[in-house]
């Protein structure tokens, strides 16, 4: 008796491959992480949990103990900017770790976040300059 290997019709293989591709695309869409970026060396995190919120948080970092103010400027894709502080550079109390501010607006496109840190010794430096 001659051995004849079993064959699977070509259309069944194509159908299975298409099903795997569709499931992969769906799974990737369901597990996308939120658009966010973390600036751990600066001690500041910037997250965009959805298209209408940007959250800035001071998480602390070495050398940031004497931070008095974070001046935050958020510019949406239409060019509209808003600038708000966390803390006060004229005060003597440092910004507390875990201090946050959430901006509410239309952030569906590319949004630029620029944050300057002001310190007790009178110095300042850019701690975040990024698109999110």
- The pTM of the full predicted model, rounded to 2 decimals, is 0.70
The DSSP bridge pattern shows strands 100-104 and 35-39 to be unpaired
Stretch 42-57: mean pLDDT, rounded? 95
Distances (CA, A) of 101 to 32, 49, 58, 90, 130: 24, 13, 9, 19, 17
The Cα–Cα gap between 68 and 70 comes to: 7
Q: What percent of the chain has pLDDT over 70?
A: 69
Mean pLDDT of the chain: 80
- The answer to which of 9-23, 36-50, 91-105 has the lowest mean pLDDT is 9-23
Query: Would you list the domain boundaries of the chain?
Result: 35-131
pLDDT at 25 over 80: no
pLDDT in tens, 92-118: 999 999 999 999 999 998 999 999 999
Tokens standing for 63? Answer: 């050398």
The Cα–Cα gap between 32 and 79 comes to: 27
Q: What percent of the chain has pLDDT over 90?
A: 66
Beta-sheet strands, E only, within the chain: 35-39, 44-50, 53-58, 67-75, 81-87, 100-104, 112-119, 124-131
CATH number given to 35-131: 2.60.40.10
pLDDT at 132 over 60: yes
pLDDT band at 42 (very low <50, low <70, confident <90, very high): confident
The Cα–Cα gap between 95 and 77 comes to: 29
Radius of gyration over every alpha carbon of the chain, rounded to an integer in angstroms:
25
Cα separation of the two ends of the chain? 68
Stretch 48-64: mean pLDDT, rounded? 94
């Amino acid at each position: 008796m001659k051995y004849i290997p079993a064959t699977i019709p070509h259309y069944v293989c194509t159908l299975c491959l298409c099903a795997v591709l569709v499931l992969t695309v769906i799974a990737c869409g369901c597990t996308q992480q939120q658009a966010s970026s973390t600036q751990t060396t600066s001690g500041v995190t910037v997250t965009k949990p959805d298209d209408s919120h940007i959250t800035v948080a001071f998480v602390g970092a070495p050398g940031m103990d004497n931070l008095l103010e974070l001046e935050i400027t958020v510019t949406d894709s239409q060019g509209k900017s808003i600038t708000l502080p966390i803390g006060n550079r004229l005060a003597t109390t440092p910004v507390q770790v875990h201090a946050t501010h959430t901006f509410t607006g239309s952030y569906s496109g590319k949004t630029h976040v620029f944050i300057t840190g002001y310190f007790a010794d009178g110095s300042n430096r850019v701690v975040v300059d990024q698109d999110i």
